[in-house]
Every structure is written in C-alpha cells, then in structure tokens.
Amino acid sequence: MTDQITIAVAQINSTVGNLRGNLERVREARAQGAGRGALLVVYPELVVSGYPPEDLVLKPFFLDQVEQMVGVLAAETMDGGPALLLGSPWRIEGLVYNAALLLAEGKVAAVRLKYDLPNYGVFDEKRVFSSGPLPAPLEFKGVRLGVMVCEDMWTPAVAGALAVAGAELLVVLNGSPFEVDKSGQRFELAKTRVAETGLPLLYVNQVGGQDELVFDGGSFVLDAGGVLVARAPSFREYLLVDSWRRGANGRWAVEPGDIGAHPEGLAAIYQAMVVGLRDYVNKNRFPGVLLGLSGGIDSAISAAVAVDALGAGRVHCVMMPSPYTSTDSTDDAAEVAGLLGCKLDTVSIETAMVALDTLLAPVFAGTDPDITEENLQSRLRGLILMALSNKFGAMVLSTGNKSEMSVGYATLYGDMCGGYSVLKDVYKTTVFALSRWRNHNLPDGALGPGGRVVPERVLTKPPTAELKPNQTDQDTLPPYHVLDDILECLVENEMGAVEIVARGHDPDIVNRVWYMLDRAEYKRRQAPPGVKITRRGFGRDRRYPITNRFLTAL
C-alpha cells in the first residue's frame, strides 16, 4: 500500500472519429505526466472516440477500431510509465457502454461503466449506450478510486454507493459542454458530493469544439473539505499534476496546486465562440472563412471572432452594397476590416438587382414591390458568398443572431447561407455587450489585435438591414431589450403568455413575438450549426414541430 501518489489530469482536445489522432494526444499527455512524476494520468470521458460520438457507436467496425486503439495504449503501459484512466466506448456481451478504463501493466486492468445516462438537452446517450450498474471502487497502487463518468456526479446515488463501498478518492471523467453559468453549477455539485461523502474529488473535463458544442475544460481538484486546491485554465489544453499523501487518519490529502484562469460572463461567452469556430474550421480542414461585412454590428463582431480564432490572414470579408447602402455602412465596414487587418473586397449587387428586376418583370407585372424584392437582395449576397466559397474553398460564416433567428428576421438562401454561425445562440442585446467587451479586452490565445475592433458608430447607430430606404429593425420588431426578454422567457424558460405579461410586457407584443417564433421554425431547421451558449439553443436543445397548431397566445 502506497502512502503517496502523483496523479496527472490531462485536459485535452480530442476529435470525434479521429482515433489515431486521439491516441497521439493521449500519448503526448502521458509522456508529459511521466516527466513530472505521475503514476496515473486521468483523461476525459470517451477521449478515445471523441465526445459525443453519436451514431458512430452503432457501427461495429468503428467499435472494433476503438478496441484496437485501447489495446495499443494498454500494451504501452508495460514500459514502466504511468497507468491511464480514460473514457471509451466499450462492448460487453453485445452491449455498448460509456466506460472508464484503467490501463496498467500492459492490459485493461479494470472497467467501470457509466450508470446515469443523460437524455435531455443536447444529450441522448440512452439512444446509443446501455446503462451500467452502480460501480464499485477500483484499486490502483493501494488507492481505492471511486470512478464516476460525467452525469454520475450530478446526482448522489453513484458517489454515495462508492463511498459506502470504501472509495478513498472520487475521480470524475467528463465531457461537459459549455453554457453560460454552467461551470459554477458543476463546481457546486462537486462540492455537494464531497460534503455528502467526506472524500476529496478530482474532476477532469474535455476542452475544445465539436460541431455546436464547446467544452470549456476547467478541470479541478477539491480537498475533503470541499476547498478548491487546483484548477486547470479554461478553454485550452492543460496538464494538471497533483501530489497526494495519505495522512495518519488514513485519509488522502492533496498539496495545493495551480489555480488557472477561469473567465466568466461575457469573457467566457467570447472564448466559447472563438474556440467553437476555430475547431470547427480546423477540424473540418477549411482554409479559412469568408463573410459579408455590412457595416452592422453582427458582421463586425463575427469578423472579430473569426480573426481572433484563425488570424487575419484566414478571414476574407466582402462588402456587397446596394443602392440602399449608406455611405456610413460602407465606411464602417472598411474601418472594421482595417482595425482587424483582414482582407476586404467590394462586390456591388446593383447590376444584379437590375438584371433580376428585368428577368422577373413579366411575371411580377401588376404587383407592388414588397418583401420579395428585399429578399432578392439578401439572396444575391448569399449567392456571391457561396460563389467565392466554391472558387477559393473558404467556409462562409453566417452572421445572424439568436434574436433574428427566433422571429424569422432572416432570409432563407440569403443571409442564412453559411457553414457555421458564431452568433446563432447569442441574443442581440448580448451582441452589443460582447462588442463593447471586446473593444476593451484581448482574450487569452486570441490571434487578433488588441484595442478597439468595433467602431463606435457601429455600436450606436440603429440596427438596419438596409433593404429599402430609411429602414431600421424596429420598423418591424420591438426594441431589442423588450424582444430579447420575451424570447428568453419563451425559449429558455418555456413560460406562458400570462407569466410573460406579468413581467410588464404588452400583451399584443407578447402574442406577436410568440407567433413569429412558432412560424419561423421551418427556417431554423435549415440554418447552419453554431456555438451553443445558452441553456436552450436552437437545434438539438430545442426540438419543436414545424407543423404545429397549438395556440399559445393570450
């Protein structure tokens, strides 16, 4: 029985399906851990396959290759270096589990299966995994480790069973995605498990982007009193090494370690947007992004995120003026590109508008101009961006925000064109707040310039699509502070109209917003993926029927 042990927490960025690449990341972290005296290196949930693997785990030949990679890693532990505790899909008697595997002395020395499978929000693990039994502790070097996998920590059953069975240290393998204020919730739950069991807790979380999800890392260690003694920085890979010693009372204590940076609020949202876009572009091997730069705030902050994520050389902005585009907008777009140092081309859509008017004149005869002509402008811009994408390979970055997408204030095959959206889950009021924040802050790891990146006039002028003379968003929408509060009530909180009106909102406005939200569902189904920020993003979080006659208004 040992009285001291060094454990390394490997907060790494794996990629779904990249089994050999993930294996190399595991190896690199193991080598670093060995160099710092670790006897055990702990990795996130499903690190071998990447998380979430979704329907890949329904393919037997995928699971065959996962098991081959695990076998390779297990064999390498014969070299006298650290053992590995890592997450992987695992088959037992024809069933597939979300498992924690201890690889030591050349073999899979122990297997523990995830007991509590989440089936809400973005999670649907019951669809692809079987639930394991309540786990028993596993022993490593005389230490009884109580191993839990992610959701197992969110309720008391698993930690309680492990404590009763004699666990001495709780170890939690996680793939817990970012959303606003969630890190505090995780931390409080971990403290609760410590208080219930009297055991110290080691929490390792994945980091990086996977489609719409961003994993913020922030791995941490709590002592038996629930005090934070070590924490990895958020939003980047990190190896956190902890030294543990058994006291005279037989309980394990950990030496205080590094307390890494932990952004919250607007800083965390911005970091999530940067990491989500960077990994989506890089993991899918796009050379860069291009976006329409209108002179408005949404495209300005989208361009800033893109430059911070990828560098100015991989961001191509395109200004596409029409006869309704103001000189201010043209100047503001040029200033944004200049502040960010990225390429800006100008492609006027005026001649194309004339051509389409001429083309459609015979079939539009006898009708007045309306939203049809406005949408044609947006679709011409989408056509230009997609043509540039096809020609040069860069991915189109959509710039619409959550407020617009909620009420259908976006044009199919126009401004909704794109491969990804960093603002998809960001309300307009938050867009303004993020822009002001970025003007005074340079995020950790950002590749863009410090200082102001969104011109003051872009922050102060009334938002407008500029599709007809003297147009502003508030011609057809409530003020954004009103709209966003109503939308948050409807989308995040599933409140009824009576409750929303009780908050001080006009009943007619509530009814109109609710109607627009429901009617725009068919558009949102055709929108590109984007970074999940809130508790209830459009997509996997919120699954509403398109054909829907449920009357919800007053």
Q: Which residues are catalytic?
A: 45, 114, 150
Strands 143-149 and 138-140: antiparallel
- Residue whose tokens read 């995040």: 492
CB neighbour class for 78 (10 Å; exposed up to 12, middle 13-18, buried from 19): exposed
Residues pairing with 215 in the sheet: 177, 208
Q: Could you tell me if 304 and 453 are in contact, meaning their C-beta atoms sit under 8 angstroms apart?
A: yes
Q: Give, as one character, the DSSP assignment of residue 133.
A: P
Tokens coding 248? 């005279």
Instruction: Look at phi and psi of residue 339 and say left if phi exceeds 0, alpha if psi is from -120 to 50, else beta.
Output: alpha
Tokens coding 114? 């995830």
Q: How far apart are CA 439 and CA 295, in angstroms?
A: 16
Which amino acid would we find at residue 3? D
Q: Which DSSP helix (H) or strand (E) runs through 33? A: helix 19-35
Q: What are phi and psi of 95, to 5 degrees?
A: -105, 150
Q: Give, as one character, the DSSP assignment of residue 275.
A: H
3-state SS, residue 185 = helix
Q: Could you tell me if 430 and 454 are in contact, meaning their C-beta atoms sit under 8 angstroms apart?
A: no
Q: Half-sphere exposure of 402 toward its Cβ, with a 13 Å CA cutoff? A: 30
Strands 213-216 and 138-140: unpaired
Residues pairing with 113 in the sheet: 99
